[in-house]
Structure 1
Amino acid sequence: MKVEIIGAGIAGLTAAIALEKRGFQPKIYEQAKNLKAVGAGIILASNAMQVYKRLGLDEQLKSQGIPLNALNITNQKLQLISKVDLNYFKNKYNLQSLAIHRGKLQQVLLDNLKHTEICLDHQLKNITQQNEAYQLDFENGKSVNSTLLIGADGIHSKVRANLFPTGKIRSMRQICWRGVTQFELPSIYKNELNEAWGRGDRFAFVQFSHDQIYWYAVKSFKQSEKEFSEDHLSSYFQKYPPIVQEIIKATPAHTLHTTIMQDLKPISNWHDEFSCLIGDAAHATTPNMGQGACQSIEDAYILADCLSKQNVLDAFKTYQKIRMPKAHQVVKQSWQIGKISHWENPVAIAIRNKLLKLIPQKLNQVQLEKLFQLEKIIG
């Protein structure tokens, strides 16, 4: 069966690989004129790595990233507040979470496509239903017919806008700067992600290759993101330890990726008879849990699994029933973390940090265990 996929991001590429392995013939339409190794870092948590292990990609990815042993939340002085030891999940699933450059992940996925054609410079314009098919019209003037359509085209999805026009994009009123730079981290920070929570802001860093780190900085704004400038970034985080200043200053300003923290307010339906949404097109989340891409990867694999076992409509229904509760819980929880981590009242911050310290590491582990567990349909 032929499948048209809109979007050659992580969700679209992973879906194409999973579908190929099940005998489908995917074809991807991507709005970009070329696929560059762009972006910053990404965390492939245990749930994503379990999927890639099933797809036979885990060893290739391990060679391109750095394994993570811990996820830490600290105060503004980089003093530990909360820690999740990832070695438990390493032993349970016989794999490790990875920090990796998004471009390297993209290249591994591209290298593992066997016969999927990627049509570049194809920005979707309109979708028209014609009996038991869709006519897809692109901005370049071309049109194609589709009997099985997957929308993997991100938070601003044209597929969703055409077929499920109910999505509302929400802003957290926070601006995020992401950077990649050559930097030698002290040994105490290696193989772990550290996120420091300040007062209305936070800063995080992680090593993702032998000589590079990925970092991000987030700050709340009152009226507009224009309140802040990349040129003065180091001054916004001057109350943090010297290593934070060193990391910022080691990163050329023109290489930064600046975005507004936003998500998609949960919608109640991801599919109709012939089309289905996956990834950010269905449930875009703020990146406060490092689960945006991971949830997209789960979507791609589970949808392919459902399509290989059921007729299209039943497969879409099963996929939505399995994936929606977990994905929406991630959206909700990530939004809450984004708010709590940016409290500004000193008393509230002190209480928050004290309470986080009191949470047993075992409880953090149990919560992540639910997040990392893949649904039973995956065999």
Structure 2
Amino acid sequence: MVIDIIGAGIGGLTTAIALEQKGFKTRIFEQAEKIKPVGAGIILANNAMQVYKKLDLNDTIKNNGNPISSLNITTPNLKLLSKVDLNYFEQKYEVKNIAIHRGILQQILIDQLKSSEIILNHKLKSVIKNGNELALSFENGKNYKSSTLIGADGINSVVRQQLFPKNKIRHANQSCWRGISDYNLPPDLRNELNEAWGKEGRFGFVQISEDKVYWYALKSFMKNKDELTFNNVKEAFYKFHPTIKDIICSTSMQHINKAEISDLKPTKIWYNKNVCLIGDAAHATTPNMGQGACQAIEDAFILSECLSKYEVNKAFNEFQKIRLPKAHQVVKISWIIGKIAHYSSPFLIKLRNTILRLTPSSVNKKQNESIFKLGNI
């Protein structure tokens, strides 16, 4: 049996690796003409790194990224509001959180594939079910038949739109810039992620290699998503800490991309017989917990385990039962965090910051425990 995967992103590639190691043959259809080392950074949280440890990729990823042992929320001047110490989880699961360039991670995953075929320049146009067979049509005019299909094609998934039409993309009315800067953080900041919360916006940054910093900046908009351009990022964050301003100024325009923040309103159906959705195609989340790619990586591991134990329809059903509650929890909490982080009222900002300061570390630890624990088959 050949399992077809739509999308060669982090989720699709990890799924192919996991399936290969279970003895399955896969084909991956990717819309890009070339696999290029593009994109910004990515933080692989403890749960994702547990999966990569099981797939024998932990050391390679660790050697190409930067370990992160603390997650901090701060004021615009980098005064600490809340801290999650990750040392407990590092010791418990014997892996670290790793910040890495997304393009480097993608290449590591591609290099790990042994038998899977990556078919480039194939943007899915339509998928039609004919009994137990699927007809895949691509915009380049090519057609393929498939017996088992995994949709890993992102929040705008063609597979989901055509076979699971009852879904809704929610817009957070926030713009996000992501950039890679040629910059070295001070030693005390090199192994932590800092996210500075201000009024209607925030700025996060983390070292991803010896001389590269990944940063992201989010700002609310009222009506027009195009009203915020990079030309006013400096203006939007000019009152923030000097380190933040230095990071922005040391970034070349070609190393910055911008996107509107959206998620997928939670849906209860991820599969239909021999078709299954994973990652953002199934449960796209806002990036406020750093769990978007991590949840797709968990999907890959759990799905491969299910397919190795059950026939396809039962495997997809078991996968959905295991993964849906946690993925929806992430979507829900992340959406709430995004709203709280963008308060505009001085009173609410002061109240929010006070609550963050007074929240016991045990509460943060408990929340992350539920996120970092992998599901069981």
| TM-score with structure 2 setting the length | 0.99
Find the aligned partners of 1:132 and 1:177 in 2 and give their Cα distance. Answer: 43
Q: How far has the Cα of 1:353 moved from its partner?
A: 0.5
Aligned to 1:37: 37
Aligned to 2:66: 66
Q: How far has the Cα of 1:112 moved from its partner?
A: 0.3
Q: How far has the Cα of 1:142 moved from its partner?
A: 1.1
Is 1:220 equivalent to 2:220 in the alignment? Answer: yes
Find the aligned partners of 1:131 and 1:231 in 2 and give their Cα distance. Answer: 53
Find the aligned partners of 2:337 and 2:198 in 1 and give their Cα distance. Answer: 13
Find the aligned partners of 2:169 and 2:70 in 1 and give their Cα distance. Answer: 32
Contact 2:124–2:137 under 8 Å retained in 1: yes
Q: How far has the Cα of 1:241 moved from its partner?
A: 1.4
Aligned to 1:124: 124
Aligned to 1:21: 21
Q: How far has the Cα of 1:232 moved from its partner?
A: 2.3
Aligned to 2:290: 290
Aligned to 1:235: 235
Aligned to 1:252: 252
**Structure 2 gap segments, 5+ residues each:** none
What per-residue deviation string (whole Å, max 9, x for no partner) do you get for residues 210-255 of structure 1?
1110001100001112222212221111111111111111011232
Find the aligned partners of 2:306 and 2:333 in 1 and give their Cα distance. Answer: 27
What per-residue deviation string (whole Å, max 9, x for no partner) do you get for residues 311-360 of structure 1?
11110100000000100110010000000000011111111111111111
Q: How far has the Cα of 1:146 moved from its partner?
A: 0.7
Contact 1:193–1:206 under 8 Å retained in 2: yes
Q: How far has the Cα of 1:127 moved from its partner?
A: 1.1
Aligned to 2:173: 173
- Equivalent residue of 2:271, what SS? coil
Superposed structure 1 runs of 4+ greater than 2 Å apart: none
Is 1:96 equivalent to 2:108 in the alignment? Answer: no
| TM-score with structure 1 setting the length | 0.98
Superposed counterparts of 1:104-183, under 5 Å: 104-183=104-183
Q: Which amino acid aligns with 1:365?
A: K
Q: How far has the Cα of 1:77 moved from its partner?
A: 1.4
What per-residue deviation string (whole Å, max 9, x for no partner) do you get for residues 186-212 of structure 1?
122110000000000001110010111
Contact 1:67–1:191 under 8 Å retained in 2: yes
Q: Which amino acid aligns with 1:53?
A: K
Q: Which amino acid aligns with 1:117?
A: E
Aligned to 1:209: 209
Aligned to 1:375: 375
What per-residue deviation string (whole Å, max 9, x for no partner) do you get for residues 94-143 of structure 1?
11010000011101100000010000011111111112110111111111
Is 1:51 equivalent to 2:44 in the alignment? Answer: no
- Equivalent residue of 1:349, what SS? helix
Find the aligned partners of 1:214 and 1:125 in 2 and give their Cα distance. Answer: 34
Find the aligned partners of 2:255 and 2:184 in 1 and give their Cα distance. Answer: 19
Is 1:366 equivalent to 2:356 in the alignment? Answer: no
Aligned to 1:9: 9
Q: How far has the Cα of 1:375 moved from its partner?
A: 1.0
- Equivalent residue of 2:77, what SS? coil
**Structure 1 gap segments, 5+ residues each:** none
Contact 2:322–2:376 under 8 Å retained in 1: no
Find the aligned partners of 1:22 and 1:131 in 2 and give their Cα distance. Answer: 27
Q: How far has the Cα of 1:300 moved from its partner?
A: 0.8
Find the aligned partners of 1:245 and 1:34 in 2 and give their Cα distance. Answer: 34
Contact 1:125–1:138 under 8 Å retained in 2: yes
Q: How far has the Cα of 1:181 moved from its partner?
A: 1.0
Q: How far has the Cα of 1:306 moved from its partner?
A: 0.1
How many residues of Structure 1 are paired with residues of Structure 2 in the alignment? 377
Find the aligned partners of 2:57 and 2:253 in 1 and give their Cα distance. Answer: 34
What per-residue deviation string (whole Å, max 9, x for no partner) do you get for residues 74-99 of structure 1?
01211000000011111101110100
Q: Which amino acid aligns with 1:308?
A: S
Q: Which amino acid aligns with 2:234?
A: S
Contact 1:12–1:28 under 8 Å retained in 2: yes
Aligned to 2:302: 302
- Equivalent residue of 2:272, what SS? coil
Find the aligned partners of 1:3 and 1:196 in 2 and give their Cα distance. Answer: 43
Q: Which amino acid aligns with 2:118?
A: I
Aligned to 2:271: 271
- Equivalent residue of 1:207, what SS? strand
Q: Which amino acid aligns with 1:335?
A: W
Find the aligned partners of 2:370 and 2:255 in 1 and give their Cα distance. Answer: 36
Q: How far has the Cα of 1:364 moved from its partner?
A: 0.5
Contact 1:263–1:286 under 8 Å retained in 2: yes
Q: Which amino acid aligns with 1:188?
A: D
Root-mean-square deviation (Å):
0.8
Find the aligned partners of 1:201 and 1:233 in 2 and give their Cα distance. Answer: 11
Q: How far has the Cα of 1:266 moved from its partner?
A: 0.8
Contact 1:231–1:253 under 8 Å retained in 2: no
Find the aligned partners of 2:336 and 2:68 in 1 and give their Cα distance. Answer: 24
